[in-house]
Structure 1
Amino acid sequence: ILAPGLRLGWFHTHPDNIAKIMPSGVLLSGGGPPPVLVEAVTTLMKDGHLREYLDELRRIYASRLGAMVTSLKEEMSDFATFHEPSGGYFLWLKFKKLPAGKDTTQFLEFCRDKGVGFLPGIRTSVDSSSGGDCIRLSFAFYTESEIQSGIRKLAAAWRQFCGA
C-alpha cells in the first residue's frame, strides 16, 4: 500500500499459524524484507503518518489517472475502450479492432523504438487465448505531462500499426 513494487506486509492470523510460519527459511535467513525498511514502515505506522501518506498518494494517483483518462478520451476513443478504475495503479485498455493476424504483443514490439511501453493483456491472462486485444497502462509512476505525452505517442503508434 505504500508504493508499487514494495514487497512488505504482515500477518494477521491466529497465534497457532504464526508458529507454523516462523520456521520458514525465508524469515529466518534474512531473505525476507530488509530490516531497515521494516523498521521505517513500522515507525511510519506507529506515528500515525501512514494515513497522511496514503491520502497524499491517493491524491497524486487520482490526478495522474485523470490525466490518462482525459488523454485517452481525446486521443484514442475512436479505436479503444476502457473503464476508469476506482483505485490501483493501472488502467485496462481494449482495442475495438486489431489488424488481421496481429495482437498487442506484436504492437508492443512495434512500439519499442517509439518511446511507448505497456503490458500486453495476454501476459496477464491465465489462458493465452484471451487478452490479445488489451493492454495494461500504468499511471502510478509517471507525471501528468509524461502520461499525456505517452498517450499521444501510443495513439500515433496505433495508427501507424494499423496502417491508418
Structure 2
Amino acid sequence: MSPIRFAAPDGSLRIVRSAQRPDLEAICQIERAANMSPWTQGDFEDYLAGGMDGPIVLVCCRESSYPDAFAVGREISDEFEILSIAVAPEEQGKGVGLILMMSLLRWAKSRGIARWILEVREGNTVARKLYASCGFFETGKRHGYYADTNEAAILMTGESPVPWEVRQEMHCFRGVKLFNQ
C-alpha cells in the first residue's frame, strides 16, 4: 500500500503505511499497552510475512517518527475482517484510530470488498463508538468469548458506502483530513 497522509483533528500530520520489520518493536509495545491479552511478536512476524495474500498490517506515525498505532485486517472471501486496531495510550483520543479505520476500509474497497466485519470486547465502549461512527452496527454477541476475563465479544458489520463516502468531500470526516486520494 502506498503511504497515505492525513491531518488528525488535533492538527498533527500523520502517515499511514504498510508495516515493516523495523516497526515490530513499536508495534509490540503498543500491543502490550493496549490489550489485556496481547499478541506475541511471533504473531506479528507471521502477519508481516504473509505477503500480498496475507493480512494487511498498517502503522500510523507522525512524519519521520516511529509508529504510535497499528491496525491488522484480512480478506476472507468477499468480506474484510478487522483483526486489531491499537493506539499508544498517549495518542488515544486524537483521531488516530479513525485514521486507521479509514485506511483499512479504503484498502478493502480498493480490492472490491464492500462488507467488513469485526469483533470487539463488550466493555470497550470507546472502540464500539468509533466503529459505529464508521457505519458499523452490532450483529451478534459471543458470551464468554475472551478467556482472560470471560467477557463477551460484540460482533459488528459494516458495508459500503461508509459515512465519509456519503459526504461530497470525501477528503474530510470528523476532523480528519486526507491529503492524497
- The TM-score bracket by the shorter chain reads under 0.3
Higher strand share: 2
Higher helix share: 1
Give the greater-gyration-radius structure (CA). 1
